Structure 1
Amino acid sequence: MAESKARTAGPRAAKPKKPESHLGMVRRARRINRALAEQYPYAHPELDFDNPFQLLVATVLSAQTTDLRVNQTTPALFAKYPTPEDMAAAVPEELEEIIRPTGFFRNKAKSLLGLSAALRDDFGGEVPGRLADLVTLPGVGRKTANVVLGNAFGVPGITVDTHFGRLVRRFGWTQEEDPEKVEAAVAAIFPKSEWTMLSHRVVFHGRRVCHSQKPACGACPITALCPSFGAGETDPEKAAKLLKYELAGKPGQRLRPPADFPGEAAARAEADAHDGEVADMAVAG
């Protein structure tokens, strides 16, 4: 009788995996942040700038294009219009021609003229260091404001761009699509002191490894922590061929990278074939 029971019972069914608790997700998220800090100790803003005004302008220009393209455009732009007063007085057609390579140049020129005039008229020619003031400027939303605050003023902020939103959803930190809701959800997971560098690390990872169309899962340092592992190529050798920028032995996006950046400076010529993010961003919106 016992033998009959043993024959008919079959293998023990696997226990269903328990849903991750909020506390478990927070702990996993912080482990991911620490792992990305080890992977990218040199993470930084990938726009070249020397002052808050230059960073503000460059960030506005970076919409729907690559930071590399912006960095190749801004030297001539800032040589001709070094201050808000200079840019506010620009002939629109001349400004448009300089920034044409960044795309959507008419709308961007309108924003640059408007924000420059507002800086001149309302802020004494200086970029304000408060979120509430920055978002009053034409063409400046929370993403741009947080870039400027975090990198020009040292005020912590979370930058929710295309890459950041894609990765935090893949990581299971939030399923929100609206950038402000994503920002609020991620801000609740991490201490404020981590916000700016977390943004750089996640964006770096999105540009180099966790791509929109072909994530290099097999070359990823956080596979054990990522619920989306397997969304891309898992074979290590094949995944390594998908890596970009310094991880692939190629230049980064800055013409003037920080001293600790392990890759090469980008070329001053037009963006070349290795820079495939424009197509990535067009798909992701």
Structure 2
Amino acid sequence: MKKEFCYTTFNNLELWGTYYPSKEISSTKPLIVYFHGGGLIYGNRDDLPQEHLEIFLDNGYSVITLDYPLIPEVKLDVVLECLKEGIHYVSENFQQDFIYFGRSAGAFLALQLANCDSLIKPKKIISFYGYYSLNEPLLHQASDYYKKVPIVPFMTVHHLKRKQPIKEALIEERFPIYLSFRQSGTWVKELLGRKNEINDFSLTIEDLQKLPPIFVAASEHDQDIPFQINQELANQASNATCFFVKDLPHDFDADPIREAAISCYKEVIKWLEK
């Protein structure tokens, strides 16, 4: 049976996690800590399709998913400070052997946390179509892909922003915020706010080389996060395994019965077992 728990509170916002126990009761395998995607603006902690979740549970891996406060109501430093509390909670109340798994923005968060000296290091990292540095010039440019759709007015974004921090939101509700930021090339600026330094949220080549073994999955035709970012991640990390697909969208595993998605998760399990 899954178990839900509150790991911290930020500005009266309770941040929760969900624990999904392995189907192997006596399993001694590392715990998988999962971070959801959504451009740091929308989504929820339990967005991993059930079919993908079951693959981990069936193979002896318990999974924990964690809330984090969303942008733009907070900025990136707050997101990561809250998740650090989440990792401390997990290590104190569950186990200290764990693997980070993130998809899209969640992969970025996983890499940031793996690079944090104040935290116990994960044994491995599973990075699906994410990014490791906000210094990447392509993330500062207005997206050609998103400019193909009607421009989102600033006032629309203003009205969608809440007065208090939130931890989950439907894509249908909040995607216009992300779309506006990507259309205008201001996404990174909005993540950071005025007080944060971009280098504090950007892994260097030296940082990447110090990472634990990493599994990098991405589509060569990713319309959201340029594919070359994941190529660079795989090339610079000291111990990387790649799973690259063609002619598929950014979140190619969103459809759990897609052949590429099934194959990818099978390869993840093989890699975890090494």
Fold-level match, TM-score > 0.5? no
Please state which structure has a larger fraction of its residues in strand: 2
**Structure number with higher helix proportion:** 1
Larger radius of gyration: 1
TM interval, shorter chain, is under 0.3
Give the TM-score normalised by structure 2.
0.25
Give TM-score, length-normalised by structure 1: 0.25
